[in-house]
A and B are shown apart, each in its own frame.
Chain A
Amino acid sequence: MDFSFSEEQRLLRDSLQGFLRNTYDADSRRKAVASDAGWRPEIWRALAQDVGVLGAALPEELGGLGGGPVDTMVVMTELGRALVVEPFLETVVIGAGLLKRYDSPAACAAVEQIIGGELITALAWGEPTSRYDVADVCTTAKREGEGWRLDGKKAVVVAAPWASKLLVTARTGGGQREAQGVSLFLIDKDAAGVSAVDYPTVDGKRASEVTFEGVSLGADALLGEEGQALPHVEAVLDEARAALCAEAGGVLSELVRQTVEYTKQRKQFGRPIADFQVLQHRMVDMFISTEQSLSMTFMATLKLDLTAVERAAAVSAAKAYVGRACTSVGQAAVQIHGGIGLTEELALSHYFKRATMIEQALGSSDFHLRRYQALRAELPAAA
């Protein structure tokens, strides 16, 4: 049993921290989020080429550094701490995480391009009525000649406005919520029949409603075997949930730190409000939730390579816990700040917004609590 970071992981953390400290202050972020593009491609290029984090957890044979889930955790925590909007989760953890599972030339090339910072992808899995059920897919792909014809609508596809390729789940067989019959396609976003309505999200990202109308796809657009995509998508979404928990770790740590600092400065009744025990205890509870969330993130991250049931139970337990911590710590941070905590000007309110959206992302706490409860009976008995 070992909870320490390796030398490489420490270096990765330090160099990323240093880079973000110099480039990602609250003002630069605010300007980028308000710009037309909504992000900074030059930051992405630097993350790929100068800091070298995009390939940290990806296989060496595809140009990565051969790290694993702990490396992803290290990176995501720092991205959370700096409230980075660029699509590391969407493109690297989910996109490359899926693509590396397939050995087609297109998939391998895409991973290499992602590591180099040259390709942005987004996974279109959710639909207007599917809520968080990854098997609930109405989008269809029907055989047409050698290839496929894609029709359907995907909802709130985060990072899609920045992407040139989309990974799309579509039903090639089976009924609406059946696990069998879901296939995965890699498509060009500018293919004929793909249309997108782009918009900003409340936490500073960009997303799209994507519609597919008679999109013609070549045979090679299908990744892996027809109808067998779901186990891969679920595994990668679990990796992404663990990564989100790690991001939350950075966000929560900042919420605690900034709140503690603020209470030491802010004076009322002739003394710093940090002196008031009722606020102290509330901040201690924020701290405890944050520490416990870190522990759950370690646990889930280190169990990603176990069996599907153990992996999913661990991840859902963690996401349920961390999600609720995001809401409670965020609310407490704003309450303790008072009115200033509600302003656009204060960095803290942006951390609050991201924390709030993390609770919902890739399944709410209720969703994961239910999933954990359903899986716990299948878990192997403790040794």
Chain B
Amino acid sequence: MNLDFSPQDIAFRDEVRTFIEQNYPAEVRAKQDAGEELGREDYLAWHRILGTKGGWSTPSWPVEYGGPGWTPIQKFIFAEENARAGTVPILPFGVNMVAPVIMAFGTPDQKARFLPPTMMGEMWWCQGYSEPGAGSDLAGLSTRAVRDGDHYVVNGQKTWTTLAQHADWGFFLVRTDPVAKKQEGISFLLLDMTSPGVTVRPIITLDGAHEVNEVWLEDVRVPVEQRIFDENKGWTCAKFLLAHERTGIAGVARSKRAIDRLHDIASEETVDGLALDQDPFFARKMAELEIELMALEYTELRGLAREAEGKPPGPESSLLKIKGTEIQQRATELAMEAAGRYASPHLLHNATGGNEAPVGPRSARGVADTYFNMRKTSIYGGSNEIQRNIIAKAVLGL
């Protein structure tokens, strides 16, 4: 038992660090620094650069599909280095969500058609899961797909569809058998978002951002060859996806960066003439958060070490999701508290054309919006209560 990275791991870390320094797009960095909202091309720029670097955009993919063949520890290091540098994260919907399903259940034609462009950042995916009447009870979904010759005709409404306004393709759970038990009448369809009958309507969240959408489907014709796996077996794909949605789920490296930022804010604010990070009340909260993150980091490392030994993943993905999101939320809460009165100016209008100088210290900008936005984390991807149900059943046998 030891904590040391091997010389190969350290060399790998240096290689990744240097590559990021030399290749991260300066114009994206500038927008991030200015706190501007990122557009489609900003999200894809880094993805494409990594895609041309021997599969670095797809760390978790097997080599046969173009993945880089990294060990679990190397994947961890790669994520750490990206977080450390504050790169735009690669969106999970294509690379980490639909791609493993296509690899496991897709036909050779489907693999050839969808995997390479997903890897290269040429195909933006969105996830058509939640519906107004199907949130935590996902299997209760009612979007209908009716077979008509070589097509399905799809009608229904999806919601909370993240960044669908940019998406080229979506993977959708639809009901193909309305009579069967609810899990047994669902199919998994890939849908061209430019198909006639697809309407994407923005949902503006409480921070003023356009991140999620409603997707309306009206008589959308989807070729049968865009169905993954058998008809009515879509729930199998959905469960498989859930089990593979673990990559980076804890967000340890990004939370470390958030805590660093918190320290920056707290060192600039003063209480009774003392820096806020020296205030015993506030310092205590920061120390507690750091320790929580440390525990999560070592839980993740224990899981990686098990994975590296070829043992099946334990129940830790639900644990990582619960604690990871609690920590992310707490970090944003403390950042907002640290910023004091300059937490309140709402700055989003600067991104939409205003050109007056933002008020307050740079480190405080947008902290409240981030706090509001991050409430999503304990709700999405299976709410933290659903995760507790999973642990209760799968681990404690309750």
Contact = CB atoms under 8 A, between A and B. Distances in A.
Co-assembled chains A and B: yes
B12 interface: no
Nearest to B13: A383
A287 to B, nearest CB: 6
Given A280-B392, A288-B319, A288-B323, A321 B291 contact: yes
Contacts of B1: 2-6, 9, 70, 298, 302
Interface in A320-344: 320-321
B388 interface: yes
B225 to A, nearest CB: 42
Residue among A5, A70, A302 having the largest count of chain B Cβ atoms under 10 Å? A302
Contacts of B298: 295-296, 298-299
Nearest to A293: B295
Interface stretch (A124-132, A144-152, A181-189, A368-376): A368-376
A373 B305 contact: no
Contact of B283 (A9, A291, A295, A373): A373
A296 B293 CA distance: 10
A280 B254 CA distance: 30
A299 B392 contact: no
Contacts of B256: 382
* Most chain B beta carbons < 10 A, residue from A264, A284, A285, A298: A284
A1 B4 contact: yes
Interface string A274-293: 11010011011101100111
Interface string A284-320: 1101100111111011001100000000000001001
Contact of B398 (A3, A274, A298, A302): A274
B190 to A, nearest CB: 35
B50 to A, nearest CB: 22
A292 B295 contact: yes
Contacts of A382: 256
B229 to A, nearest CB: 32
A65 B389 CA distance: 45
Contacts of B9: 1
B391 A284 contact: yes
Given A1-B301, A284-B396, A299 B294 contact: yes
Contact of A4 (B305, B395, B398): B305
B380 interface: no
A299 B293 CA distance: 12
B277 to A, nearest CB: 9
Interface in B107-147: none
Contacts of A369: 284, 287-288, 291
Interface in B1-60: 1-6, 9, 13
B353 interface: no
B388 A281 contact: yes
Interface residues of A, number: 41
B296 interface: yes
Interface residues of B, number: 42
B389 A291 contact: no
Interface in B285-303: 287-288, 290-292, 294-299, 301-302
A303 B3 contact: yes
Contacts of B391: 284, 287-288
Contacts of A383: 13
Contacts of B149: none
A364 interface: no
B174 interface: no
B356 interface: no
B396 A3 contact: no
Contacts of B288: 369
Nearest to A296: B295
B265 interface: no
A216 interface: no
A3 B73 CA distance: 12
B302 A283 contact: no
A287 B319 CA distance: 9
Given A283-B398, A369-B284, A277 B389 contact: yes
Contacts of A6: 1
Contacts of A2: 1-2, 305
Contacts of B292: 321
Contacts of A317: 290-291, 294
Contacts of B395: 284, 287
A331 B3 CA distance: 33
22 contacts: A1-B6, A2-B305, A3-B306, A4-B309, A9-B1, A256-B396, A280-B388, A281-B392, A284-B396, A287-B395, A287-B396, A292-B296, A295-B297, A295-B299, A296-B295, A302-B1, A302-B3, A303-B3, A317-B290, A369-B284, A369-B287, A373-B284
Ordered nearest first, which 3 A-B pairs have the shortest CB separation?
A295-B298, A280-B392, A292-B295
